[in-house]
Amino acid sequence: MTSLLDHCHRLLSGIPGVGRIVRHVSRMERATLVVVALTAGAFYLFVAIADEVREGGTRSLDERILLALRVPGDLSNPIGPRWLEESMRDLTALGGTTVLSLMTLAVICFLLMVRKRQTALIVLLSVAGGALLSTLFKWGFSRPRPDLVPHGMAVYSESFPSGHSMMSAIVYLTLGALLARTQARWRVKAFLFGLAIALTFIVGVSRLYLGVHWPTDVLGGWTLGAGWAALCWLVMLYLQSQGEVEPEEPARDPDA
């Protein structure tokens, strides 16, 4: 099997143009290739979702899911105990502008304190660029908020994509990746990424439960946010390879 792969590698390397791409890919780390695949996959899913939303093909599914989260006969009352609705309001704040802005500011200040200026700039541009992207897409689609059920909280912007879902994906995945760079054990890295994904998921679900977004708004926010975060991470990896961003410091394994 290995000899077959080597033969294919040599064959492709001999094709003009393709050879340069193959040589570049062969030099990339496996983790980088995973990020490339995640970036492409996330953006592809967002385009597919956005296209269905634009054509109105998701309306029936969106309505069924929102109605499933309400008590039959009383659409103003979400399913579950009363404390659950209050908890969802608390959890949705994890994706709000105030919380994410304060968290981003704290991380940037910390990075500046430890002399990681370029990394701090990447974080700032990633979050600010994501916020601008979210606003532009909201304006572009101008999708109305759900009118099927009463809203569990006040909303002021268009519906697609969900800004809370998108920005929580950008901020939490970026912070998870930054923290993972400081750890040597894969178990710890997996925990950090899992925590980032869980927080992003919780924020999105809270938007559905409160009736302020269609399900496809949340899916669009998740995919666009994850794709943007991964793209910014790829840019950082490239700049790091060019010596323009501080290199990753080798982490010490406490079990070593």
Q: Domain spans of the chain?
A: 30-241
Mean pLDDT of 76-103: 95
Q: What CA–CA distances, in Å, run from 101 to 97, 110, 123, 136, 193?
A: 6, 14, 12, 19, 20
The count of other CB atoms within 10 Å of the CB of residue 129 is: 14
Determine the pLDDT at residue 154: 87
Query: For the segment 204-231, what is each residue's pLDDT rounded down to a tens digit?
Result: 999 999 999 999 999 999 999 999 999 9
Residues 6+ apart with CB under 8 A from 83: none
* Token code pair at residue 141: 């689609």
Higher pLDDT pick, 75 / 7: 75
In our burial notation (b when 16+ CB lie closer than 10 A, e otherwise), range 157-175 reads ebbbbbbbbbbbbbbbbbb
pLDDT at residue 26 is higher than 60 = no
Q: Which residue has the tokens 């080597």?
A: 6
- What pLDDT shows up at residue 242? 72
Inter-residue long-range contacts of 121-126, CB under 8 Å, 24+ positions, other chains counted: 122/232, 122/235, 122/236, 122/239, 122/245, 123/174, 123/178, 125/232, 126/170, 126/174, 126/228, 126/229, 126/232
Structure tokens at 235: 């840019």
Given pLDDT bands bounded at 50, 70 and 90, which one contains residue 237?
confident
- Is 104 or 185 the better-scoring residue by pLDDT? 104
* Per-residue confidence (pLDDT) for residue 33, from 0 to 100: 84
Phi, psi torsion values for 159, nearest 5 degrees:
-95, -40
Please give the biggest Cα pair distance in the chain: 68
Q: Which pLDDT band holds residue 141 (cuts at 50, 70, 90)?
A: very high
Q: What is the pLDDT of residue 1?
A: 45
Give the confidence band of 11 by pLDDT, cuts at 50, 70, 90: very low
Indicate the pLDDT class of residue 137, thresholds 50, 70 and 90: very high
Q: State the pLDDT at residue 205.
A: 98
